[in-house]
Structures are given as C-alpha cells and as structure tokens.
Homo-oligomer: A and B are copies of this chain.
C-alpha cells in the first residue's frame, strides 16, 4: 500500500530561504517566471519573479550548459545555479546559472510592460487585462497588504473570544430592505443576495456571544463612483454583553492595532515597495456627528447643508480636521441621526433623534459603520411599526429577540476601501482583484 505524507523538505527555495548566509556558494534550485532578460553578450541578467519578490540570476556562457537564447520573457522555469552575494542585486543575492528547465512558455508576447515599476496604463486597461496586470509587483503588493488586514482582523477577534461564522448569501429577504438588492430565481422561488450578514450575525450573538465573518456582500446600488463596488468583502463582527457602543469602537481600535502589527511584522517588503507609512492607531479620537459638522463648518468656513447626513466632502474635511488637530488619520464619528440609520439601530435614550452608532473615517472616508443594536423584542417591534415597515420575512430574525438576546452591537468594515486608503489609492477598483461595478462583470 502507498501513502502520502505532508510536504517535508523544500525541493525549491524561496527568496527568504536564500537569504540564509550558510547557503552562499551552494548549488540551489529555484523556480519562477522570467520577469526580464538583459542580454549583454557573454553575460546576461535574468530576473525571476517569485512570490516573495524579484531574484537576480546571472548567465555566463562559460558557466551555463545552455544558450541564453533558449530563455524568453514570461517563461516559467526551474533554475539551478550557485548562490552568491551581490551588493547591487535585490536582497543582496544572485544566482549564477548552470542549468535551466523551461516549464512553460507563453503563446504570445505580453500586451503590457508588467516588469516596469509604473506600467502607465489606464485603470480600465489594467482591469481588462487583470490576469496579466496583477503580475506587476506593485499591483500585486496591494493584495498582500489586503491579506494582512484580514489576518489582523481574524487574529485579534479570535483572541478576544469571537467565533467565525459562515452565513448564507442567498436568502428570502434583504437585511436592510430597500431597492438595492440583487434578485434571483431560486428553484422557482424569489430570492435575494445578501447585502450584509447583519440579521445572521445578530442571531448568532444568542449562540456564541461574539461572532465574526469575512465574506462577500452584494449591493445593487446604481452608484458609479470611485469608492463604491457592487460586490465587496465585508469584515463583520457582532458582540454581546456590551455596556455601550463604545465597547464596539474599542474593539475596532484593537483590531486596527493588530492589523498594523501584523503588517509591520510580515509585510515589510510590500509596505516598502508601495512606500506605505503605517498610521498610528494606539488611540483614535471620537466626536459626535453634530459636533463634527459644526467643527468643520467653523474651521473651514463651510455652510451645513444637510443636517442629517455627511456629504463626502464633509467626511474629507472631518478627516482633515482630526489630522490637523491631533495627528490622527482615523476618527470615530458618533451619534448619527436616527432617520439615516436602519431600524435595528439603538436610539440614544437621552435623545431619540440620534442613535448609539458610529462611522469610522480613515483619511476622510468612511470605512466602517457600526453601533449598538436594539436587543429588546418589543422595542424592536415598536420601531418597525413606527417606521411603517412590515415584519413579513423577518420572522426568524425576530425569533432570536423573542427568546432573548443580550445587549449587543457590532460593525462592518469595507475591506477594499480600507485597503485603498491604506495604500493611498484613489479608486477602490485598484484594491479589488476583480471588481464588480455597474458596467463590469468581467474578468
């Protein structure tokens, strides 16, 4: 009988392996895609693109058993050679090639110069050619940063006693109602795609107290802006037994701290490649919604047009204000008007025109919406009635309240938007692998 075991020895080495000084002078084997070839006659520099970065290989006719002409850009190869120190090479190492096996060869030359630091192509072209444009090392670095954000989110919450959940994306009714819902036919029943895991994560507070989910959400919003997507990844959590919505903001502060820690520890290459300076998140200012409006209106001489919502320009000014006044890229804006928040938001008992809710702005843009929720069954029914809504289709959601839920609150973070602000992009499509907007369903 034959058996498999887990992979033990590494057959080929990655860049981090090669940085071991003990390997200098040894013959090593590496794989990679040929990023560039600079042929200078008897010597050529063959740059391999590997998942951890670029690796310089040096070809000398006398040392190698193959002609350099056998290699083409975008070939994927397995290369054997001697590891050497080299001050000018990326990472201070290079490989003196002896032998190369070509593993695959493209069928056509690359349509865009992916080896250039800046490809100088439009966003549209970059998205149309996504399977190729993402091979550019700066393009792909964004998504390593994105990975770090998700890792920080999960890591911190797991440590804080949260349980990860997986809730359905197809359902009978949307969590927040409204028109912005994708509809589909589900075995001859009308169904919708989840706009958020809101109802489910609240139900799960009754089961695990603290839950989180990192999953796609779908919004049929007819926006075509630089910060909206019709499908995005939402980092959601919900926590029970809170004393107030400040507990939720404190938890987000903890999440952000862990995100920055993990990025600093494990994603130094990408931070440096994209020239990112990580923000300080040890303490984050908070301010009431109406107070924030007043502050920026006064400081920047701007009339308050809509007292119930923040316009994008106002959000930007609030971000600027707290950067200027206390050097923070982040600010929590609290106590949003009740009429702009969903029915399940807990109204402020001292003034029910406001809610115990918040947004987190990062560099002047909302990346999080959260708050305390109503947990009392009758209070929830009353609010639904007061809003002229129906409970139809909410029976299971209401069931959780009917049989008891603790005080709770939570939030949702838009992953792509957070990534966008962190890497300093100006369009959320740049930090989405394969974005979906009103006019883009492919690739």
User: Which residues of B lie under 8 Å from residue A2 when comparing CB positions?
Assistant: 285-287
Q: Is the interface of A mostly helix, strand, loop or mixed?
A: mixed
Given known pairs A7-B254, A204-B433, A250-B7, the reply for A396 and B131 (CB within 8 Å) is yes
Quote the shortest CB–CB distance from A294 to chain B (angstroms): 14
A134: Cβ under 8 A from any B Cβ:
yes
In the complex, how many residues of chain A place their beta carbon closer than 8 angstroms to a beta carbon of chain B?
124
User: Which residues of B lie under 8 Å from residue A285 when comparing CB positions?
Assistant: 1-4
User: Which residues of B lie under 8 Å from residue A439 when comparing CB positions?
Assistant: 187
A231: Cβ under 8 A from any B Cβ:
yes
Asked if A108 and B376 make an inter-chain contact with CB atoms under 8 angstroms apart, the answer reads no
Quote the shortest CB–CB distance from A40 to chain B (angstroms): 24
Quote the shortest CB–CB distance from A32 to chain B (angstroms): 8
Q: How far is the CA of A165 from the CA of B250 in the complex (A)?
A: 28
Asked if B130 and A396 make an inter-chain contact with CB atoms under 8 angstroms apart, the answer reads yes
Asked if A171 and B405 make an inter-chain contact with CB atoms under 8 angstroms apart, the answer reads no
Asked if A170 and B218 make an inter-chain contact with CB atoms under 8 angstroms apart, the answer reads yes
Partner of A399, one of B31, B129, B160, B377: B129
A163: Cβ under 8 A from any B Cβ:
yes
Give 1 or 0 for each of A161-185: 1 = CB within 8 Å of chain B CB: 1011111111110000000001111
Q: Considering only CB atoms, which chain B residue lies closest to A194 in the complex?
A: B216
Give 1 or 0 for each of A222-247: 1 = CB within 8 Å of chain B CB: 10000000110100000011010011
Asked if A76 and B161 make an inter-chain contact with CB atoms under 8 angstroms apart, the answer reads no
User: Which residues of B lie under 8 Å from residue A52 when comparing CB positions?
Assistant: 161
Which among A143, A146, A247 has the greatest number of chain B C-beta atoms within 10 A? A143
Asked if B406 and A140 make an inter-chain contact with CB atoms under 8 angstroms apart, the answer reads no
Q: Considering only CB atoms, which chain B residue lies closest to A50 in the complex?
A: B209
A54: Cβ under 8 A from any B Cβ:
no
Q: Considering only CB atoms, which chain B residue lies closest to A128 in the complex?
A: B396
